[in-house]
């Protein structure tokens, strides 16, 4: 792979023997009044200067605007031919004309094949997020089911994020709810434990899950290690798509137990078999011929796009998710879907079969990339009949309904934002509202919560929690907590340059247009002092004091340098504020409870560097509890089976230093 860089070069005469016809007429015909002919001509000159030195090789090109902004990233089988298309004198769409008029320079990277070019283009787009490319708005990771390794009794659990933990991963699932439902069913079918290792190691008798037949009870020896290993193998086989063989094996075991007159054992096999059948019969749509597939369907309304993705594994519907990519309305559904799929699979596993509602241009290239990366054959199909077409139609219906709901909700949300701006005397409706609240019990496990709302409703990917770190704050000092939370939040925004960033009209800002504080005049004053110290005086602050008897509808609002006021009881803006306050209250309390739970279940042995699961298990088995281990003498620690003298001293020093 080689790189060619071309800045703004003076236009030169084009060579007669070039294999591409490039017109020298700079009077580009466009239908866009925003792209003036003079600006378009200037952009064409920069493109022509770059074009002259290009080879006839595959590669990726980047168009740069003023201040080095990346406008567009594209790939080509032949760079010279592809870039030449931007110098034509006729037929540019509005989008292309604007892009050409803003282009100041170009850079190129040549690749060995067009497949490599597509892969590089996708990485550039996700990293640089150019204005004129199709962009994924939501790139949140998918949840998976994981069966752990490195333990006598592997755990069945949900997982999201980096795969740092050793285990087998199955997915993706569309949401955590789908994972929880599947785990619940798998527990009934395969009786695998879902408890943590520390909980498992401290059991002296079977837990409730064993009593209700959701766990085989390996912690107390209710099942042998070999039998439990067989359950784990069956669960992995089922999740890997071998559901029929697993069911046939259970049928044989049930029959054998019945013939041996072990009717209780046969009944357990019967119940497990019924559970597995229920998994495949309880889905919204049940493919009988499609074992594994990712289904993509796209719908366009009012210049906006919705892509609906369904995941099918082991003949089961593992859920669906809606995406609303950022794309120019002049693009076709096929073009948007093509660009989206290439970006979608950069960091996600792909099914062997990919079904699409539109025939995409780069299908073969995407197949090649996935084949090389995953080490198995992938196929992208555009079905026209049969069960596969039914899956596409089902996804299309969901895409159409999701986009209709989004358009309706956006229109309603815009009205609420306008009403809120008018109620608080803002110059224009806010695009971003940040709402803050604190949660604690007598100052312990204190956290601050921030939720965000905008034209699309609650923007949950922008929610944040703040662990109160300052040692100078008196426990229970709500004003001090609010000062710390707001100070940390706005100092970070200032450091990242969020205040001065220039945004596209449909880009969600990082800098808030309005800040709501769940609290009265004292909380508002604490927030004002923090912003004044940071030199921020252009962010409207509003404090929300609960009404008499804490009843909704009687809230009093406080603003800086203004008298307090109330909103009419039936004002839509009041209902909107109540929803915002209730949401931040829910979020802050949830964060506090999660922190408190972690503190209650935290094992001090986890904090000792060099003490892994095996040595921790040995200490707990020998002493019974972590507290007993912390009070043990150095000699007693050294006598623990599996603990050498160096480890014993490490544990002893840790607890005695504290």
Domains of the chain: 2-128 (3.40.1440.10), 144-281 (no CATH), 293-404 (3.30.420), 433-599 (3.30.420.340), 604-657 (1.10.150.20)
pLDDT of 617 over the 90 cut = no
pLDDT range class, residue 308, cuts 50, 70, 90 = very high
Tell me which range, 89-98, 386-395, 543-552, is most confidently predicted by mean pLDDT: 386-395
Q: What pLDDT is recorded for position 31?
A: 41
Asked whether residue 400 carries a pLDDT value surpassing 70, the answer given is yes
Read off the pLDDT of each residue in 120-137 and give the average, rounded to a whole number. Answer: 86
pLDDT tens track for 202-256 = 878 888 888 888 888 888 888 888 888 888 888 887 777 666 667 777 777 777 7
What is the model's pTM? 0.66
pLDDT of residue 643: 84
Tallying the residues shown for the chain, one arrives at 658
* Angle formed at CA 37 by CA 32 and CA 40, multiple of 5 degrees: 85
β-strand pairing of 556-559 with 541-545: antiparallel
Taking only the tens place, the pLDDT of each residue in 317-327 is: 888 888 999 88
Quickly state the pLDDT bin for 512 (edges 50, 70, 90). very high
Q: What mean pLDDT comes out for the span 291-309?
A: 91
- In degrees and rounded to multiples of 5, residue 470 shows phi and psi of -65, 135
Question: What pLDDT is stored for residue 32 in this prediction?
Answer: 44
d(CA 48, CA 35): 18
- What rounded mean pLDDT belongs to the chain? 81
Q: Which of 55, 60, 78, 62 is nearest to 117 (CA)?
A: 60
Average pLDDT over residues 371-377: 88
DSSP state of 92: B
The larger pLDDT score, comparing residue 7 to residue 131, is at 131
CA distance 457 to 467: 26
- 553-610 tens-digit pLDDT: 678 899 988 898 888 888 888 889 989 999 999 999 998 888 887 776 666 776 677 7
CA dist 466 and 473 (Å) reads: 14
Looking at residue 476, what DSSP letter applies?
T
pLDDT tops 70 at residue 86: yes
**pLDDT tens sequence across 160-205:** 877 778 888 887 777 777 788 778 878 877 888 888 887 888 878 8
């Amino acid at each position: 792979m080689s790189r060619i860089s071309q800045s703004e070069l003076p236009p030169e005469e084009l060579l007669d023997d070039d294999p591409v016809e490039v017109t020298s007429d700079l009077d580009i015909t466009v239908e866009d009044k925003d792209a003036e002919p003079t600006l378009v001509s200037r952009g064409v000159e920069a493109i022509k200067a770059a074009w002259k030195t290009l080879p006839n090789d595959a590669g990726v090109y980047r168009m740069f605007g003023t201040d080095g902004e990346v406008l567009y990233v594209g790939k080509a089988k032949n760079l010279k031919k592809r870039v030449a298309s931007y110098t034509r004198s006729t037929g540019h769409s509005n989008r292309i004309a604007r892009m050409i008029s803003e282009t100041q320079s170009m850079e190129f990277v040549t690749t060995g094949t067009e497949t490599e070019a597509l892969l590089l283009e996708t990485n550039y787009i996700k990293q640089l997020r150019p204005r004129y490319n199709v962009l994924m708005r939501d790139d949140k990771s998918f949840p998976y089911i994981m069966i752990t390794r490195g333990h006598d009794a592997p755990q069945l659990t949900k997982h999201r994020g980096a795969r740092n933990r050793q285990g087998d991963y199955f997915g993706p699932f569309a949401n955590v709810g789908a994972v929880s439902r599947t785990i619940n069913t798998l527990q009934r079918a395969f009786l695998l434990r879902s408890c943590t290792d520390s909980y498992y190691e401290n059991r002296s008798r079977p837990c409730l899950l064993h009593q209700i037949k959701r766990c085989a009870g390996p912690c107390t020896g209710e099942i042998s290690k070999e039998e439990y290993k067989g359950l784990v193998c069956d669960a992995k086989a089922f999740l890997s798509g071998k559901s029929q063989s697993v069911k046939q094996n259970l049928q044989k075991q049930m029959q054998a137990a019945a013939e041996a007159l072990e009717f209780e054992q046969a009944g357990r096999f019967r119940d497990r078999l019924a559970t597995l059948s229920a998994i495949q019969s309880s889905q919204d749509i049940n493919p009988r011929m499609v074992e594994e597939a990712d289904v993509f369907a796209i719908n366009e309304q009012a210049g906006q796009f919705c892509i609906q993705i369904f995941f099918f594994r082991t003949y089961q519907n593992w859920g669906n998710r809606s995406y609303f990519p950022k794309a120019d309305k002049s693009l076709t559904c096929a073009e948007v879907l093509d660009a989206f799929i290439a970006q979608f699979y950069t960091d996600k596993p792909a099914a062997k079969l990919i079904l699409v509602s539109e025939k995409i241009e780069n299908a073969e290239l995407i197949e090649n990339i996935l084949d090389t990366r995953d080490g198995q054959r992938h196929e992208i199909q555009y079905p026209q009949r049969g069960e596969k077409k039914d899956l596409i139609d089902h996804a299309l219906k969901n895409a159409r309904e999701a986009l209709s709901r989004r358009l309706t909700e956006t229109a309603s949300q815009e009205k609420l934002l306008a009403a809120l701006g008018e109620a608080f005397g803002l110059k224009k409706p806010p695009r971003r509202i940040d709402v803050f609240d604190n949660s604690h019990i007598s100052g312990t496990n204190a956290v601050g919560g921030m939720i965000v709302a905008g034209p699309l409703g609650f923007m949950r990917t922008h929610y944040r929690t703040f662990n109160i770190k300052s040692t100078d704050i008196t426990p229970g000092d709500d004003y001090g907590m609010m000062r710390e939370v707001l100070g940390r939040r706005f100092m970070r925004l200032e450091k990242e340059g969020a205040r001065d960033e220039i945004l596209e009209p449909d880009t969600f800002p990082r800098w808030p247009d309005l800040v709501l504080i769940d609290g009265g005049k004292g909380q508002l004053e604490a927030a004002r002092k923090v912003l004044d110290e940071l030199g921020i005086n252009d962010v409207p602050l509003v404090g929300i004091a609960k009404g008499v008897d804490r009843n909704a509808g009687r809230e009093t609002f406080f603003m800086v340098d203004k008298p307090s006021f109330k909103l009419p009881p039936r004002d839509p803006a009041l209902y909107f504020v109540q929803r915002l306050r209730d949401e931040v209250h829910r979020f802050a309390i949830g964060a506090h409870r999660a922190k408190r739970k972690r503190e209650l279940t935290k094992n001090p042995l986890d904090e000792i560097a060099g003490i892994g699961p095996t040595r921790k298990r040995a200490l707990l088995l020998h002493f019974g509890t972590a507290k007993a281990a912390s009070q043990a003498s150095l000699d007693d620690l050294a006598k623990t089976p599996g603990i050498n003298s160096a480890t014993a001293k490490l544990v002893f020093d840790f607890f005695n230093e504290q």
